[in-house]
Amino acid sequence: MSSMTWLPAALRRRVLRLAMRLGSRGGSSPMPDITTLRKVPEHLTYPLRRDGVDPVPQLAEQRAIDPVHKLGEILGIKIWLVSGHEEAKAVLADMTSYSNDIRHLLGNRRQDSAEGVGGLGFTDPPDHTRLRGVLTPEFTMRRLRRLEEGIGAIVERSLDEMAAAAASGDGTVDLVDKFGFEIPFRVICDLLGMPDDVREEFHALGVARFDISKGGTEVFGAATETRTFLIDTVKAQRDAPGDGMIGEIIRTRGDDFDDVELGGLADGVFLGGYETSAAMLSMGAYVLTRNPEAYRLLREGTPAEVNQVVDELLRYLCPVQIAFPRFAKSDHDLFGHTVKKGDVVIVSLAGANRDPRAVPNPEQFDLRNAETMHFAFGHGLHRCVGAELARIELRAALTGLARRFPDLAMATDDLGELGFRDLSIVYGLDRLPVTLG
């Protein structure tokens, strides 16, 4: 594994930038330099490992012994793993004991850089409040309802393309390509207000960014290019604001942010909303091919039943496996353990979602579980800002799929062909060959 590839791209970029800044100032930081980390020890990686869609059994075994557990140390930094439902809720809601600011870990006290929503999850108030405040008006139900109609049209277009691809080939279609990635990409473009003539280039960058088969360096390069591309889009929209989020922010609060900040904001929305929704659509379709009753409910059920199916898919699949790291601000007690200032607390969202103390039938996809609060969107101050948009998108796409292709089936029995990710914070699959019936 190359250096830092276990970290999400946004965190990697931020750490590298901060490390360069610290280095260029000629000062010596007393904190460990996590950019020097070449490989995470094997025994620390199980919270990111899965067997198909299920977390590896070690996670449940550890949660049964203790839902708060000292996972180990990396470069002298103590790491705690929280895998229980009650414990996860407590940590994620506790802004007094924890900071999300990665600079805290590096001993960097500078508060001047609002480096974009790519870093929103790594930011504390007041920066977090200011940046999130820019985004929330774009996600009100009124704004989202305006997007909803467009989302319906995007879904229909994607389903048409699937049907055409099946008809022109051997009847098999890769659902990840034509449905999983296609729908969230178009939704994010509409949300941001990307002009039509740049979408093709943006799409190519998006594909490269999430194509892990090309290795860390290329993915990293594509991430930088996407960000530059979005900064250029912001620059262009300064003169002619579009009708999406970028244009709206420029029109209403444009003077408060420079191009880099706004580009970062757009990049964070792209990063947060694209791969996560794609993973849910692809893995969701996979689970539905094995649960015909839930698939029928998507086709024929009431809105409440459809919501149940979507939320149980979110709980069960939980594509964002762990929350943003929380850094202890002071020594404190955490369910009987003494957490020291500077320790890192990792909340396993997938673990909390499968805690048998809270969920009736945790290891199964089972609609009776849908009553329990889940953590697929996190919890507390950093809870996903796009959660309602994601729900609208999942509902539209999955009900559309169920109505158009009621006989959807897997075209392979070999799960190895699906390319489930390895050690990825956002879990997902790379291929899903299906027949449309």
Q: In the complex with ligand HEM, which residue's Cβ is closer, 166 or 190?
A: 190
Instruction: List C-alpha distances in Å: 101 to 13, 95, 268.
Output: 14, 11, 16
Q: In the complex with ligand HEM, which residue's Cβ is closer, 99 or 276?
A: 276
The closest alpha carbon to 313, from 277, 274, 358, 273, belongs to: 277
Tell me the closest approach of the beta carbon of residue 3 to ligand HEM, in angstroms. Answer: 24
Six token digits for residue 426 = 């956002």
Q: In the complex with ligand HEM, which residue's Cβ is closer, 206 or 386?
A: 386
| 271, 256 Cβ separation under 8 angstroms | no
Tell me the closest approach of the beta carbon of residue 108 to ligand HEM, in angstroms. Answer: 19
Q: In the complex with ligand HEM, which residue's Cβ is closer, 118 or 254?
A: 118
| Chain contacts with ligand HEM (rule: CB under 6 A) | 92, 117, 120-121, 132, 268-269, 272-273, 276-277, 280, 319-320, 323-324, 349, 376-378, 380, 382-386, 389-390
| 86, 347 Cβ separation under 8 angstroms | no
| 277, 426 Cβ separation under 8 angstroms | no
Burial class (CB in 10 A: 0-12, 13-18, 19+), 9: buried
Q: In the complex with ligand HEM, which residue's Cβ is closer, 120 or 294?
A: 120
| 216, 176 Cβ separation under 8 angstroms | no
Tell me the closest approach of the beta carbon of residue 353 to ligand HEM, in angstroms. Answer: 11
Tell me the closest approach of the beta carbon of residue 123 to ligand HEM, in angstroms. Answer: 7
Which positions ≥6 away from 415 have C-beta within 8 Å? 52
The closest alpha carbon to 44, from 423, 427, 428, 429, belongs to: 423
CA–CA distance, 123 with 268 (Å, rounded to integer): 13
Tell me the closest approach of the beta carbon of residue 284 to ligand HEM, in angstroms. Answer: 9
Tell me the closest approach of the beta carbon of residue 389 to ligand HEM, in angstroms. Answer: 5
In total, the chain counts a number of residues equal to: 437
Bridge partner list, 433: 174
Grouping H, G, I as helix, E, B as strand and the rest as coil, residue 28 is coil
- Give me the amino acid identity at 72: G
Tell me the closest approach of the beta carbon of residue 132 to ligand HEM, in angstroms. Answer: 5
Q: In the complex with ligand HEM, which residue's Cβ is closer, 46 or 185?
A: 185
Q: In the complex with ligand HEM, which residue's Cβ is closer, 273 or 362?
A: 273
Phi, psi of 55 (to 5 degrees): -55, 150
Burial class (CB in 10 A: 0-12, 13-18, 19+), 346: buried
Q: In the complex with ligand HEM, which residue's Cβ is closer, 22 or 325?
A: 325
Tell me the closest approach of the beta carbon of residue 324 to ligand HEM, in angstroms. Answer: 4
Tell me the closest approach of the beta carbon of residue 307 to ligand HEM, in angstroms. Answer: 14
Q: In the complex with ligand HEM, which residue's Cβ is closer, 114 or 376?
A: 376
CA–CA distance, 81 with 70 (Å, rounded to integer): 6
Which positions ≥6 away from 295 have C-beta within 8 Å? 288, 289, 402, 406, 408
